[in-house]
Amino acid sequence: MNHALHQYSLVTLSYWGFTVTDGALRMLVVLYFHQLGYSPFEVAALFLFYEFFGMVTNLFGGWLAARTGLNTTLHVGLALQMVALAMLLVEPAWLSVIYVMAAQALSGIAKDLNKMSAKSSIKLLLPDNAQGKLYHWVALLTGSKNTLKGVGFFIGSLLLSSIGFRAAILVLFLGLMLVFIASFVFLKRGMGKSEYQPKFRELFSKSPVINRLSAARFFLFGSRDIWFVVALPVYLQSVLGWNHTAVGSLLALWIIAYGAVQAIAPKLTQLGHSLSPNNAPDGKTALHWILPLTLIPAIIAVALHYSLAAPATVLMVGLAVYGIFFAINSSLHSYLIVAYAQRNGVSLDVGFYYMANAGGRLVGSLLSGIIYQWQGLEACMLVASGFIGIACLLSMSITRSFCDNQCAQKL
C-alpha cells in the first residue's frame, strides 16, 4: 500500500501541475481575446479544437495507454501542453483565430491524455475489494484538480493584469517544464500497460452501463459549459463592468470551492460513514443527487429576468448552490466510471467515458457563445437546465451497483 500511495502521490502532483497551467491558459485566452474585441462566438470558437481534439484523444488515448502504459500518455500530455504554450509566445500579430485554435487543439489533446492517464491509474493502484478507498481517492484527485484549476484561473487573470499575455505564457511554460522533469524521473514505467494488446475495434465500449453513464456525462458537463465558458465571464465584463482580475477571481473562487466539495463528496453522500464494497455509490445515488440540480439554472434565469435581486447577488447565491450540487454529481460520476471499468484495459473504458465528457464540453462551449450572443445569459441558463434534465433521465437507467457490474463482467 505504501508503494501505491507513493505512485498515487506522484500522479496527483503531476496532474496538479498540469491543471494549474491549463486553468491559467483558459482564463488568459478568454480575457485577452475578449479585450481585443473578439465577439462571444469568436471567443467560443477558440475552444472548438480544444474540445474536439480532446474528445478524439480520449477515444484513441485509452487504446494507446492500454498498449504503451499510462505513464507514457501522461508524459506525452505534459509535453504537448508545453508545445501549445510555446506556440502562444509569438508576436501578437500572429495570434489569428486559426492559429490560436491550433494551439488550443494541442492543449486539448494534452489535457485529456493527462486526465485519462491520472484517473485510470488509480484503478490499478488498489485491489477490487477496496471500493470505499477508491471512491475517496478518486474524489480527492478530482476535487483537488478542480480546486487548482480555480487557482489557475486566478493566476491567469492576475498575470494578464500584471505582466501581460506573452510574459504570462512564458511563466506557465517554465513551471510546467519542471513538472514534466519530476514526473519523468520518478513515475513508475509501464503502469497501466494491458496484459493483452487491445485491437482498434475495441475502442468503443460494449458495456451498457458505461454507455449510459457516458451519455449522462455528455449532457451533465455540456450543461455547465453552456453558461460557464464564455457567457458568464463576458456577462460579468460587458454587463456588470467587472475588470479582468475581478472576473478571474470570481471564477477561480467558484472552481476552488467546487473542487473542495468534490473532495469531500464521499462524506456528503454517505453522511460521514466509511465506505465498503457493499455501500459504495451506484446509479441510484447519482440519480438522487442530479434531481435537484436540474432546477437550479432555471431558477437563476427566472431571478435574473424578473430582477428578484441585484444581478450580482443572484449570480453569487445561485452559482454557490449550483456549484455544491454539480460538484457532488461530478465526483459521483468520476467514481462510477473508474469502479465500473474493467481492470484489464481500464484506460479503454475511462477513455471512452471522457470522450463523452469532452463531447459535452465541445457542444456546451459552442452553445455558450452562440446562445449568449443571440439571447443572453438567461437563455444559457435555461438551456443548461434542459441538458441536466436529459442527464437526469439517463441516470434513471444507471441502477446497477459496482458489485452487480463486476458479476456481469465475469459471466
Phi, psi dihedral angles at 388 (to 5 degrees): -65, -35
371 in Cβ contact with 379 (< 8 Å): yes
Q: How far apart are CA 292 and CA 99, in angstroms?
A: 41
Q: What is the DSSP string of 47-99?
A: THHHHHHHHHHHHHHHHHHHHH-HHHHHHHHHHHHHHHHHHTTS-GGG--HHH
Q: How far apart are CA 308 and CA 264, in angstroms?
A: 32
pLDDT value for 204: 57
CA 79 to chain CA centroid, nearest Å: 19
Distance from the first to the final alpha carbon of the chain: 30
Q: What is the CATH number of domain 2-187+200-410?
A: 1.20.1250.20
pTM for the model stands at 0.73
Residues contacting 52, CB < 8 A, separation 6+: 105, 108, 358, 362
How far are the Cα atoms of 116, 128, 210, 211, 342 from residue 64, in angstroms, in the given order?
11, 24, 19, 20, 16
User: How is residue 71 written as a grid cell?
Assistant: 505513464
Cell 465528457, located at residue = 357
328 in Cβ contact with 269 (< 8 Å): yes
User: How is residue 265 written as a grid cell?
Assistant: 463528496
b/e string for 346-381 if b means 16 or more Cβ within 10 A?
bbbbbbbbbbbbbbbbbbbbbbbbbbbbeebbbbbb
Q: Which amino acid is at 140?
A: L
User: How is residue 343 written as a grid cell?
Assistant: 481492470
Q: pLDDT (tens digit, 0 to 9) for every residue of the chain, 411 residues total?
A: 555 566 667 777 787 888 888 889 888 888 888 788 887 777 877 777 887 887 788 777 666 766 677 678 788 888 999 999 999 998 888 888 788 888 888 888 888 787 777 766 666 666 666 666 777 777 777 777 778 888 888 888 888 888 988 999 999 999 999 988 888 877 666 554 545 455 555 555 557 777 888 889 999 999 999 988 888 988 998 899 888 778 878 888 888 888 888 888 888 877 544 444 445 666 677 788 899 999 999 999 999 999 899 999 999 999 999 999 999 998 888 888 877 766 665 666 777 777 888 889 889 988 988 899 889 999 999 999 999 999 988 887 765 444 454 444 444
17 in Cβ contact with 349 (< 8 Å): no
Residue 378 CB-half CA count within 13 A: 12
pLDDT value for 67: 67
8 in Cβ contact with 136 (< 8 Å): no
User: How is residue 263 written as a grid cell?
Assistant: 473532495
Residue 290 CB-half CA count within 13 A: 31
